């Protein structure tokens, strides 16, 4: 068992950086179990990362493997699988009620970073500093809650995520540097994004822009500013960002100049029936 983001043999940079934010990683041989017992409702933090794309007809086999891997975490009621590369059995999983996730993984080197765009008037960005800033991050999270989620359950999960980030800020997870950045427009909270760096590799976390400040160039300016911080302040030699292929957020991230270097796909069933 490894903890807190030791290098992974499978899943590429997507799974490697995902592992930084879970509690433990268990090597099962043909898959890795990323586990977050402290946050059992974290559907994409309690999952199996397969060494190879899932093959057609293998769904029930992998569901049995999932039940076994998380049998000691009764709060895990879902099933999530992910892998690097092609779709594999993703269509079959969709037909069985799974929610698919087709991601592109953009990985940028310092030379890839596009010229800095002019930020909107009143734009400022800084690291989170105090309790009021952490509360502002939580408020942005609440405003961005997916409509498909039960709000109370969603916030229980997200509060568990914030505890992880605050632990990192407190040095509880050695080797992880960086932090959360807060954007203001004329002093008013407008957006946030996390950037965490380990062994020269940075990973962006949870991009939020407050509804009142969308479509004003805030996200583009924020991503460029924090990417520069990653390369200069945190001494990263590459930055990783993951997004749904073809969706609006990825079009924003593409403006960083970072090319797509990997594909990370998977699927989640919100409630896995008992065996």
The reply to whether 204 falls in a domain is yes
DSSP β-ladder status, 47-50 and 79-84: parallel
- Give the tokens for residue 237: 């030699």
Q: Given a cut of 80, is residue 265 above it in pLDDT? A: yes
Same domain, yes or no: 181 and 214: yes
Same domain, yes or no: 132 and 92: no
Same domain, yes or no: 92 and 152: no
CATH of the domain at 173: 3.40.630.30
State the average pLDDT over residues 188-207.
96
Output b/e per residue, 198-221; b: 16+ Cβ within 10 A. beebbbbbebbbbeebeebbbbbb
State the average pLDDT over residues 267-273.
97
pLDDT digits (tens, 9 = 90+) for 60-84: 999 999 999 999 999 999 999 999 9
Q: Number of folded domains in the chain?
A: 2
- Domain residues for the domain of 221 are 110-236
Same domain, yes or no: 128 and 151: yes
Same domain, yes or no: 115 and 232: yes
Same domain, yes or no: 143 and 190: yes
Hunting for tokens 């996730």 — which residue is that? 101
Q: Residue 243: is it exposed, middle or buried by C-beta count within 10 angstroms (0-12/13-18/19+)?
A: buried
The reply to whether 28 falls in a domain is yes
Same domain, yes or no: 222 and 129: yes
What pLDDT, on a 0 to 100 scale, did the predictor assign at position 126? 96
HSE of 116, CA atoms in CB hemisphere, 13 A: 12
Considering all CA atoms of the chain, what is the largest pairwise distance in Å, rounded to the nearest integer? 57
Q: Given a cut of 80, is residue 226 above it in pLDDT? A: yes
Count of CB atoms situated within 10 Å of the CB of 71: 9
Same domain, yes or no: 210 and 97: no
Same domain, yes or no: 48 and 70: yes
Please list the residues that pair with 202 across neighbouring strands. Answer: 197, 239
Hunting for tokens 């909107």 — which residue is that? 120
């Amino acid at each position: 068992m490894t903890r807190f983001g030791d290098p992974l043999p499978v899943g590429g940079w997507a799974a490697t950086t995902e592992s930084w934010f879970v509690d433990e990683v268990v090597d099962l041989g043909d898959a890795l179990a990323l586990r977050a017992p402290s946050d059992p409702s974290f559907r994409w933090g309690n999952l199996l990362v397969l060494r190879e794309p899932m093959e057609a007809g293998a769904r029930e086999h992998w569901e049995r493997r999932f039940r076994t891997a998380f049998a000691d975490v009764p709060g895990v009621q879902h099933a999530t699988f992910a892998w690097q590369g092609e779709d594999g059995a993703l269509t079959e999983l969709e037909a069985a009620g799974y929610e698919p996730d087709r991601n592109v993984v953009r990985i940028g080197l310092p030379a890839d970073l596009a010229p800095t765009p002019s930020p909107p008037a009143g734009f400022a960005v800084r690291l989170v500093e105090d309790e009021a800033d952490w509360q502002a991050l939580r408020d942005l999270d609440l405003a961005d809650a997916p409509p498909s989620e039960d709000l109370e359950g969603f916030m229980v999960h997200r509060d568990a995520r914030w505890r992880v980030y605050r632990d990192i800020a407190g040095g509880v997870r050695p080797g992880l540097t960086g932090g959360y950045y807060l954007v203001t427009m004329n002093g008013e909270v407008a957006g946030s994004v996390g950037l965490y760096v380990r062994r020269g590799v940075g990973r962006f976390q949870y991009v939020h822009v407050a509804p009142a400040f969308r479509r004003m160039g805030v996200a583009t300016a924020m991503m460029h500013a924090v990417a520069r911080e990653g390369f200069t302040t945190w001494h990263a030699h590459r930055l990783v960002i993951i997004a749904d292929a073809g969706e609006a957020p990825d079009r924003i991230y593409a403006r960083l100049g970072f090319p797509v270097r990997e594909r990370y796909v998977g699927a989640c069933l919100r409630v896995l029936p008992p065996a």
